[in-house]
Chains A and B, each alone.
Chain A
Amino acid sequence: MVLIALNNIYKIYNVGGEEVRALDGINLEIKENEYLAIMGPSGSGKSTLMNMIGCLDTPSSGVYQFEGEMVQEMDDDQLASIRNRKIGFVFQTFNLLPKATAQHNVEIPLIYGNIRKNERIKMASKALIDVGLADRMHHKPNELSGGQRQRVAIARALVNSPSIILADEPTGNLDSKSGHEIMGILDQLHQRGNTIILVTHEDNIAQHAHRVIRLFDGKITEDSKVKSE
């Protein structure tokens, strides 16, 4: 089943009278349970594409269908609801709330999803156990290592059992050992049926994916299956 269908998507910024085409006519289909890596040089539009897919950004033109529905026609609250239920974000810089414990950070999407407290605690604990942080639930971000923080972020992304995990350079701020651990978790999530889309610079990270697309100046220059499903 096609989860994401981008049709002739443009994202054009106007900087000082000059046109910057962050996305320049993107056509892309992503099916359920794909494991996709987006590569490309800096400034090629990878993050812009990710944000587009994650319903954080809206295209200047083109059609985006998410699970068959037109994203352009949704209002802010509907988009927020999709982000909450269907999409889990993992950022390069973790983006945890510094004053909240790991447990609470993971609970936040559930709070916005209006899930009762008991249920919430259970779900958050389970997500943290899944990423191997059973013994760090009540630590605050500054009491955790980078790799552990990223695992909290992943727990936060998967706690609402979303179908899609979007990870923008999830290992970019980590050493290679932590990076590998994070990739291990993403591999597992993929095996459990999630769709994984990640941005990376590194070939060995991209090798975890089953499909790699390359961007250059906002255009897809290469779309290759690395492994067969």
Chain B
Amino acid sequence: MILLFIENLFISLSSVFANKTRSILTALGIIIGVVSVTMMGTLISGLDKTFENSMSWLGKDILYVSRYEWFGDMEWWEVRNRPRIRPEYVDKIKVRSKYALAVAPVMQRGASLSYGEKETRTEIFGTNEDYMETITTNIVQGRFFSKNEDRSGSRVTVIGDGIKEAFFGDQDPIGKYIKIDNIKFRVIGVLEKQGKFLGLFSVDKQAILPIGAYNRIFSKRGWMRLSIKIPENKIEEGLDEISSVMRHIRGLKPNQKNDFAINQTKAFEKNYNTLKLAIGGTGTFITLLSLIVGGIGVMNIMFVSVKERTREIGVRKAIGATKGMILGQFLMEAVLICLIAGLIGLLISYIFSILLNKIFPSTMDIWLATFSILMSIVVGVVSGLIPSYRAANLDPIDSLRYE
């Protein structure tokens, strides 16, 4: 049996290679199918990793109160007409809420930072001493500013790892003065390195200032949001409570709608899952479609191959080939075409995934690769079955007569 297997392998190999172009063209659908299924998997697993990383920076136990919903479908003018989030909300919430463990106001704008000759544009954040509790990043050097420094408008700043690298390199930045929009600030701390959020923008190039100083020096305008930390096991209750506290602050009547938004990382997750479903759905659809097209192509070419080799089949039968042996021969050929196509597809995907890896972490999953090869083999068997069966059941005399 093994002998015959090897023989069939050689027959099929020579047949496939004798018709290289035809075989490849036929199997194009399979190639596309394998590329799409592996790329889909690679894309999703890459996105998953990126998403998980990014989401870990936003705490699950943090509520973000602001004017707009992250994934809302409100018109921009409707949002614009909502009242601002005001600094005094911080204390009001702290007094009224029993779930709020930390409340940090956050304002943000672009600014130019410089140290000596070096200069860079970046985002600066104005916040209070609670801020560190509402983010997952740690201080790696120095310290965060205190309540007193905030209240007194001290010109101190905590910088991101990116700024530290750019300005100080290996030097100790603590105690050094940098200029933010030409105003001197003393560096008191450095944040841990983080990378890029959702692979889009770096959060390492930032400077955090006490909101007191921020407001005094930069405009009081601009949007403020609140980051509120609540106990991890009381998210729902916290959300309800903060919502009613905000409604109370805003003096809303029961029949009035909220004129503020409370966002959660969940909103990201929901949207992300929708995106994932879309990628998965599209990928599966393309895969199935191309496999069907490819399978039909292979079936067609196998019918042609059987027809072309009718006489050969007759001869083989005359010298002692059984039906099973002929079936095996053609089935092997169909599987071989699909297998080669699968391997080509895999190679293409692999190259793609290396390129993709430059944008976000994406590695081709070994299981997915194995699966896609198995899938090609299955398509080969399925599409080769009918032509092979026909070949096996050809009448030897008719085949020998065949011109």
Taking Cβ atoms with an 8 Å cutoff, the residues of A that contact B are: 51, 54, 56-57, 76-77, 80-81, 83-85, 88-89, 91, 95-97, 99, 108-109, 111-117, 156-157, 160
Q: Can you show 5 pairs from A to B with CB atoms below 8 A apart? A: A51-B397, A81-B320, A89-B319, A111-B4, A114-B3
For B1, list chain A residues within 8 Å (CB).
114
Query: Which A residue sits closest to B318, measured CB to CB?
Result: A89
Q: How far is the CA of A108 from the CA of B3 in the complex (A)?
A: 11
For B319, list chain A residues within 8 Å (CB).
83-84, 88-89, 108-109, 112, 156-157
CB within 8 Å: A-B pair count:
66
Q: Does B315 contact A (CB under 8 A)?
A: yes
Query: Which B residue sits closest to A166, measured CB to CB?
Result: B318
A54 near B324 (CB under 8 angstroms)?
Answer: no
Choice from B7, B318, B322 contacting A76 with Cβ under 8 Å = B322
Chain B contact surface mostly: helix
In the complex, besides A56-B396, A56-B397, 15 extra interface pairs with C-beta distance below 8 angstroms are A76-B323, A77-B323, A77-B324, A80-B323, A81-B320, A81-B322, A83-B319, A88-B319, A95-B315, A95-B318, A95-B400, A99-B18, A112-B316, A115-B3, A160-B320
B315 near A80 (CB under 8 angstroms)?
Answer: no
> With A111-B4, A116-B3, A117-B3 in contact, is A56–B316 under 8 Å at CB?
no
> With A111-B4, A111-B7 in contact, is A97–B315 under 8 Å at CB?
yes
Looking at the assembled complex, report how far the CB atom of B93 sits from the nearest CB atom of chain A, in whole angstroms: 84
Looking at the assembled complex, report how far the CB atom of B257 sits from the nearest CB atom of chain A, in whole angstroms: 79
> With A95-B315, A97-B315, A99-B18 in contact, is A112–B400 under 8 Å at CB?
no
Query: Which A residue sits closest to B401, measured CB to CB?
Result: A47
B1-30 vs A, Cβ < 8 Å mask (1 yes, 0 no): 101100100000010001000000000000
For B397, list chain A residues within 8 Å (CB).
51, 56-57
For B324, list chain A residues within 8 Å (CB).
77
B315 near A56 (CB under 8 angstroms)?
Answer: no
Looking at the assembled complex, report how far the CB atom of A221 sits from the nearest CB atom of chain B, in whole angstroms: 24
